[in-house]
């Protein structure tokens, strides 16, 4: 179901999960919904969609477990509800900015898309946030948590993860 962590360790069905996630995102959006759906369909063939356990291992190795007091479960849950674990997810917002990658990091404040108005607090090109190498995305997400004092930046985290028992998100993933 869309409200629980993906249980598949093999990654089977991830393309269907990706489409379902894209459809949910498009339906939630107003003006940008169609653009979101088109973007998801176009990038669907090229995108890397991680499994829950693969991300748990990557996030653990990157030191995200208990970073600023947020357990690994918080990070895995947030990534699921922000992007469906899709590294190339892009969401066009009503203000014209774009949320990029597995953490849906916004182009106006955190990365450089090419316009002069951007703040680029992470000192990174937005395109670096939509690759299979999650290094830049993780560094930027850590900066967001540190500078905004928590995970409240992410709406998916606030709605679905905050204040909940998130131990299931890393269960069976061979991480401590």
3 is catalytic: no
SS3 140: helix
Contacts of 131 (CB under 8 A, 6+ apart): 87
The residues with which 86 forms a beta bridge, in sequence order, are 49
Out of 6, 46, 65, 82, which one is annotated catalytic? Answer: 82
The Cα 91–Cα 87 span in angstroms is: 12
Out of 6, 46, 65, 99, which one is annotated catalytic? Answer: 99
The Cα 82–Cα 34 span in angstroms is: 18
99 is catalytic: yes
Q: How many CB atoms lie within 10 A of CB 137?
A: 26
Q: How many CB atoms lie within 10 A of CB 156?
A: 19
* Catalytic site positions: 82, 99
């Amino acid at each position: 179901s869309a409200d629980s962590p993906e249980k598949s360790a093999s990654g089977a069905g991830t393309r269907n999960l990706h489409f379902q996630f894209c459809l949910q995102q498009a339906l939630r959006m107003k003006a940008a919904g169609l653009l979101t759906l088109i973007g998801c369909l176009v990038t669907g063939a090229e995108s890397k969609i991680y499994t829950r356990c693969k991300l748990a291992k990557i996030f653990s190795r990157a030191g995200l477990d208990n970073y600023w007091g947020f357990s690994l479960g918080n990070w895995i849950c947030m990534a699921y509800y922000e992007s469906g674990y899709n590294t190339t997810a892009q969401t066009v917002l009503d203000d014209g900015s774009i949320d990029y990658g597995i953490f849906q990091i916004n182009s106006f404040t955190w990365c450089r898309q090419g316009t002069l108005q951007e703040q680029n607090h992470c000192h990174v090109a937005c395109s670096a946030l939509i690759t299979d190498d999650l290094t830049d995305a993780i560094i930027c997400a850590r900066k967001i948590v540190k500078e905004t004092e928590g995970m409240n930046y992410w709406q998916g985290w606030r709605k679905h993860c905050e204040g909940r028992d998130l131990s299931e998100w890393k269960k069976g993933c061979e991480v401590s």
